[in-house]
Structure 1
Amino acid sequence: MTRRADGGSCASSNSSRRSSLTCPSANAETEEGTAVENAIDRRLERIVLLEFVLHVVTGLRVGAQDGSFTIGGDENVIIRDPLSNRPYVPGSSLKGKMRSLIERTQGMEQNWPIARDRVVIHACRAGADYDRCPVCSLFGAPAPQQRTYLCQTRLRVSDLFLTDTSEQALREAGTTLPYVEVKAEAAIDRVTSAAVPRTMERVPAGAEFGGRLTLLLYEGDDPARSVDLTVQALELVEADFLGGGGSRGSGRVTFQDLTLTRLTFAPGEPRAERVTYKQTIGSLDDWRAHRDAIVGWAAGS
């Protein structure tokens, strides 16, 4: 067995590489008689880095769940960097939202419980299904021991941190709590109509976070499919919301100032070729006008 860079393991094979969307099937029989699909090593050809600014349109709340409770404190606190105390957006929050919205637009079956069965997502259960799946091949799939195929996750989403300009502006704003606003709401009892006050922390509108997506393109991949699905997911987040309280006005965001960098890896070459796309894309609306050129550029042309 060989160990993959992402922590998974693939069965080595001396057969020629085959180009497909996932690890192809070899239908090898184990000693226990279970069919296991060998994951033939596929060369990583390119990495596309998409850096952007996430602009907060309405107050953003990505909550912390540390189980703590402070008398007189806010019931709904946001997640912060423990060293700087600055709010940030976990990459898992953005990636999870992107995946969830794509699954809903594609009508994907919700068939895989995670997080101690509290959450159900879509996950392909067979390699042949994975080959055709637009979601699992990009966002990845859970890998319990009983699954019989091994594949690469192509999209990585890094944590998003406040830009220097926003950090300074929020620090100088003199808010009640550092970097955030405290929003007061009231829950209405449906029987008595009594109002029960509650508060929650939000990153104020106008703040900006710097983020990065990393898209891995393997031998035989279709760059157009991966790039288009990634951007569609970002468009869906813009149309919906990020974080909590979206149905009550929180979490509207936009993606701005998108820059692209391509790393190309040639066999035997000690260093990757690094090429930056010719211009910064101001918004996802502007992206549409450059789509064909970007896809061709991502493919190496």
Structure 2
Amino acid sequence: MLYSASSDTKVFARGNPYELCRCTSKVVKQLWRPDASTTYYAVDLKCPMTKMRIPEALLTLLHVYYPQNGELSCMGNITPEFSFVDLHIDNGQDVLTTVVGDAEDCVKLWALYPPEPHNLDLYYSHVGQDSKFLNLYSRLEDGIFVVQTSEQTIYLPAGWIHAVYTLKGGLVPGTMWSTAESLSVTAGILKREIKAKTASYSLAVSFLQSCQVALESHNADLQQCVAREWCVFGKDIQQLARAEGQQWPTPLVENVSNALKEKYSSCPQCGRPIQAHVCRAKGKRGQ
């Protein structure tokens, strides 16, 4: 498996970020010589030669957003023994991840918690704090602990809160995607991120992707959910996009706005003409 470090690659030691890519060689070295005192691990490496497919059993249940080229990108982590990734949420997207090698080559222990309102509220009450798992595990509800080897692939629906401890080091390829079915969960995460002032446009992209594929579905309930959530988040998404230098409206915003205009004359949330939200998305004064 070919891994490629880039400007997106992040290297951590004991959960504290170091300058990007500076310590990648230490991560690779610790695959053979683990160091419990200072464990380095790398995340978000590119895997240009690796392809991952969504299992057919999932495709029959989900409306999946695909990029224009129709392929989901594969990213990878390098996690030596003793690596620990504290509680986090993967950007409001579904996740498929595995480990590379024989059953004895890489082993991980997962702590998984569903995105119920109680769990999400508790998690976001500790944004920016260290040792989230130690502080929250006794109060998070309906947790599941799973041991993963190369014989298993983990599928996480959008929004699941999770922490991962590496019992034996190895390579960890994975992919993520947005679905219509994850719309309400992704919207709930976006709402909490905005309130915590930690939201980024990448999270808004996940939300917009869910909106687009929901509007393309034949599910009237999902389509109405898009209209209601767009009424709530349209202005916030505009601010996030502009803060990161995105030209407004972005292509995803255009797609969602145009689809809403085709399907609705008035907003199911506030009752105003849907054109008011579309105009707002285009950065104009609403009606």
The interval holding the TM-score normalised by the smaller chain is: under 0.3
Name which one, 1 or 2, has greater alpha-carbon Rg: 1
TM-score (norm 1): 0.26
Return the structure number with greater relative CO, CA threshold 8 A, min gap 6: 1
Higher helix share: 2
Give me the TM-score of the superposition, normalised by structure 2: 0.27
